[in-house]
Chains A and B, each alone.
Chain A
Amino acid sequence: NAGVTQTPKFQVLKTGQSMTLQCAQDMNHEYMSWYRQDPGMGLRLIHYSVGAGITDQGEVPNGYNVSRSTTEDFPLRLLSAAPSQTSVYFCASSFSGGPYEQYFGPGTRLTVT
């Protein structure tokens, strides 16, 4: 099993550009989520999904879109990048319906200039 994979590992964008961060898991997990991690702060939930076709907003959803067309994939789209979106982004997955262990991807370090 590859676990949770994320691409790219690093990305530099100019303000106003759009891009998609990719996340995939091969563990048949229903629950997938996107977090951002900023210095001195805990992980903050951006969006999450409890299954294909079902997504919902987390704590900091503004400026981001998600979709979940398959169980395996959960891409995060930045619509018009802003310097405030400079952060490290983590995708995570787990089984749902109870407290299950979370599996994290390796992260994407995004810089917006």
Chain B
Amino acid sequence: KNEVEQSPQNLTAQEGEFITINCSYSVGISALHWLQQHPGGGIVSLFMLSSGKKKHGRLIATINIQEKHSSLHITASHPRDSAVYICAVKSQDSNYQLIWGAGTKLIIKP
């Protein structure tokens, strides 16, 4: 079993819909990262969080440390949000290395 699991693997939605992508992990962590990768493009960090909730524009990330679960929400989704969203956690046992989820491929149709 992977230490970081994302769901769903693939998600297709209509423009304007509210999107939720989930990340569950099985190790103790000091931080969780959400990143975005556009087709053929590089990887951009969206959020890094260790508790509570963060918001940036239409993106919201939440984390529940007790339940070892994080969600990434996109409000009023737009075709330009189409990308792969990746969750990664920094284990408490490591100063440096991240444990990566396999990613969620999101397609927003106009």
Instruction: Count residues of chain A with CB under 8 A from any CB of chain B.
Output: 25
Given contact pairs A42-B101, A45-B97, A104-B45, a sample of 19 additional A-B residue pairs in the complex whose CB atoms are under 8 Å apart: A42-B2, A42-B4, A42-B100, A45-B98, A48-B96, A48-B97, A50-B96, A92-B43, A98-B30, A99-B30, A99-B31, A99-B50, A99-B90, A101-B33, A102-B88, A103-B45, A104-B35, A104-B43, A106-B42
In the complex, what distance in Å separates the CA atom of A59 from the CA atom of B44? 22
Task: Tell me the complex Cα distance, A40–B101, Å.
Answer: 11
C-alpha spacing A42/B98, complex, angstroms: 11
- By beta carbon, the residue of chain B nearest A50 is B96
Cα–Cα distance between A41 and B86 once the two chains are bound (Å): 11
Binary interface encoding of chain B residues 94-110 relative to chain A, with 1 for a CB under 8 A from any of its CBs, else 0: 01111011110000000
Q: Hey, which chain B residues are within 8 Å of A34, CB to CB?
A: none
B45, A101: Cβ atoms closer than 8 Å? yes
Question: Which residue of chain B has the shortest Cβ distance to A94 in the bound complex?
Answer: B96
Report how far A32 CA is from B102 CA in the complex, Å: 21
- Closest-by-CB residue of A relative to B50 is A99
Within the complex, the shortest CB–CB distance from A93 to chain B, in Å, comes to 11
Residue-wise, chain B 64-99 has the 8 Å CB interface mask toward A (1 for contact) of: 000000000000000000000010101000011110
Taking a contact as CB atoms closer than 8 A, the residue among B30, B42, B48, B101 that contacts A105 in the complex is: B42
Pairwise interchain contact B95-A96, C-beta atoms closer than 8 A: yes
Closest to A43 in B: B100
Q: 17 pairs across A/B with beta carbons < 8 Å?
A: A33-B96, A42-B103, A44-B100, A48-B97, A90-B42, A92-B43, A96-B95, A99-B90, A101-B45, A102-B35, A102-B88, A103-B45, A104-B35, A104-B43, A104-B44, A104-B45, A107-B43
